[in-house]
Amino acid sequence: MRVHLCAVGRLRHGPERDLWDDYTTRFDRTGRALFLGPLDLHEVEDKKNAGMAAEAELLSRAIPSGAQVVTLDERGQVLSSPEFAQSLAKWRDDGRQDLAFVIGGADGIDPSLRSRAHSSISFGKMVWPHMLVRVMLAEQLYRAASILAGLPYHRA
C-alpha cells in the first residue's frame, strides 16, 4: 500500500527536512517487506491566499483516486502507537492501494474535505506546527512498521 502525505505548504531545508528524510527512509526500508510504502510527499500552496476552500481543492487534487483518506486534525481520534500500527495494517489488509494523510493549512482543513475523510487522527489536544506534524507522522509510520515487523524500536 502506497502512503501519501498531502499537505499545505513547503518543507524547506533545515532540521525538519532532515528528520523527514530520515524517518521516510526508515519507513520505506522497514515497510517494504510489509507491503507498506513508499511514503510520498505531495505539497500544495495556495499562492492566491484564497483560504481553506482553495486549499481543500488543491489537496483534493493531490489525493490519489480511491485512496483511504485520513486527516490530521486536533478533533481527530487520539491513538496509541500500537493502535496506529493496527489501523495501518487494517487499511493495508482491506486491499487499499493508496493511503493519504492530509494536513491542512494554518486554519485547518476545510469542512468539505474533512467530511470526505474516512477517518481523522490527532497527535493530542495541543496544536502543533505543520512542519513538525509531518515529521511526527513520518516517525509514527516508521514506528508502526517496526511494531508490525516485530522490531525492538518501539518499547512500551
- What is the topology classification, in CATH, of domain 2-149? Alpha/beta knot (3.40.1280)
User: How is the chain split into domains, by residue range?
Assistant: 2-149
Which has the closest alpha carbon to 70: 41, 98, 36, 31? 98
Is the pTM here over 0.75, yes or no?
A: yes
Calpha distance 6→60 (Å, rounded): 9
Cβ contacts of residue 13 below 8 Å, gap of 6+? none
Q: Is 35 exposed, middle or buried (0-12, 13-18, 19+ CB in 10 A)?
A: exposed
pLDDT in tens, 61-90: 999 999 999 999 989 999 999 999 999 999
pLDDT of amino acid 147: 98
Identify the sign of the CA torsion 11, 13, 15, 19.
positive
Measured CA distances, 65 to 4, 57, 76 (Å)? 12, 14, 23
Mind listing the pLDDT tens digit for each residue in 86-133? 999 999 999 999 999 999 998 899 999 999 999 999 999 888 888 899
pLDDT tens readout for residues 34-56:
999 999 999 999 878 888 999 99
Q: Which of 52, 57, 4 is nearest to 27 (CA)?
A: 4
